[in-house]
Structure 1
Amino acid sequence: MSKSIPRRADYRHFQDIPTRWGDQDSYGHINNAAYYFYFDTLVALFLAGRGLQPAPADPGSSLAVVVETMCRFHSPAYFPDVLAGGLRVARIGRSSVRYEIGLFRAGEELACAEGHFVHVQVDAATQRQTVPVPQALRDALAALLVPEAEAG
């Protein structure tokens, strides 16, 4: 059984993500590698907008490192599209967060691409030792959390 294509209503937060001329490939559509840039940008903008990106040099701070990514393509996007990036959180663990993303072309209800990535919180000094997800991050992500039955 194939998985259904995500709809806009499946996501909790949206951010416009302009495509760039250099994102195109020789076939005239957005290259597959660019989608990971869009995913990372969407999450980074959400976190930065809430003051949740501490500088790595802050004593006792933690960093979120990506340990897993996935992207599934449903239809092409093109330059100069401005994609609507939909964001939700499927799971918040002790030291990890699974973000799920849907990218939508203007006027389209179904995602042209969907994916996820997993952040693991690590000690900023060692960048190896896992640490708990900070409470401020848990609080900010609570509004994005979807019930397990809805998560991909």
Structure 2
Amino acid sequence: MPKEIDIKRRRTRKDYVFHQTYRSRWFDNDMYAHLNNTVYAQLFDSIINHYLITDCGMDPFSYSNNTSSTSSTPKNTINPSGQVAILVNSYCDYFASVSYPDVIDLGLRVNKLGSTSVTYEVGVFKQGDDDVKVVGGYTHVWCERESMRPAKAGMEKGIRAALERLIVKEDSKI
């Protein structure tokens, strides 16, 4: 087994900074009585975007572009962004099954933060169990909303500061 996979397999809840709970639904199961692969992609997208909206100030429905904001701008918007995060890579490693009616705990961390990119990792746990069942995630590249090209000046400072709070360094002894 590759070292990277073995490291992921040994993850526990404490290896993740931000947490969210998801109550599985009957609809989430596939014909083999475990969560369908597409559900994991939705879970990853949900926890990552929740963090981006609530902690990074991302507002997918409005942005600052030197025009007045609309009355539909949510009141909890911290800093509407002129940037968007474009998914450029995704992955998922499965170690054990999760299925309905499990309550699922998700953990989020940042493994790498570049000037315009961020690589997230999400751990999937059954509630009450510290052994990770699935580890996956993806990489975003921060682009200017108008051009959809990577941000020349890098990601916005507020977004970067919030993402830095999720960085977890690997133990060099592993």
How far apart are 1:15 and its partner, in Å? 0.7
Query: Comparing 46-55 with 86-95, which one deviates more in the overlay?
Result: 46-55
Larger displacement relative to structure 2 (112-121 or 49-58): 49-58
What SS does the aligned partner of 1:91 have? strand
Deviation at 1:18, TM superposition (A): 2.1
Q: Which runs of 5+ in 1 are unaligned?
A: none
1:65 to 67, 77, 86: 86
Q: CA RMSD in A?
A: 1.8
| Corresponding letter in the other structure for 1:17 | Y
| Correspondence 1:21-60 to 2 at 5 A | 21-50=26-55, 52-55=57-60, 58=63, 59=65
Query: Identity rate of aligned residues, in percent?
Result: 30
Question: Is the contact between residue 56 and residue 162 of structure 2 (CA under 8 Å) also seen in structure 1?
Answer: no
1:74 aligned to 2:79? no
Give the stretch that moved more between structures: 22-31 or 54-63: 54-63
Q: Which TM-score applies when normalising by structure 1? A: 0.89
Q: Which has the higher Rg, Structure 1 or Structure 2?
A: 2
CA distance in 1, matches of 2:59, 2:36: 31
TM-score normalised according to structure 2 size? 0.79
Alignment of 1:56-135 (within 5 A): 58=63, 59=65, 61-127=82-148, 129-131=149-151, 132-135=154-157
> What is the aligned length?
149
Report the Cα offset of residue 106 of structure 1. 1.2
Runs of 5+ unmatched residues, structure 2: 66-80
Amino acid at match of 1:95: T
Match of 1:139 among 142, 156, 161: 161
Moved more, 7-16 or 56-65: 56-65
Structure 1 residues 40 and 51: CA distance shift in structure 2, 3 A: same
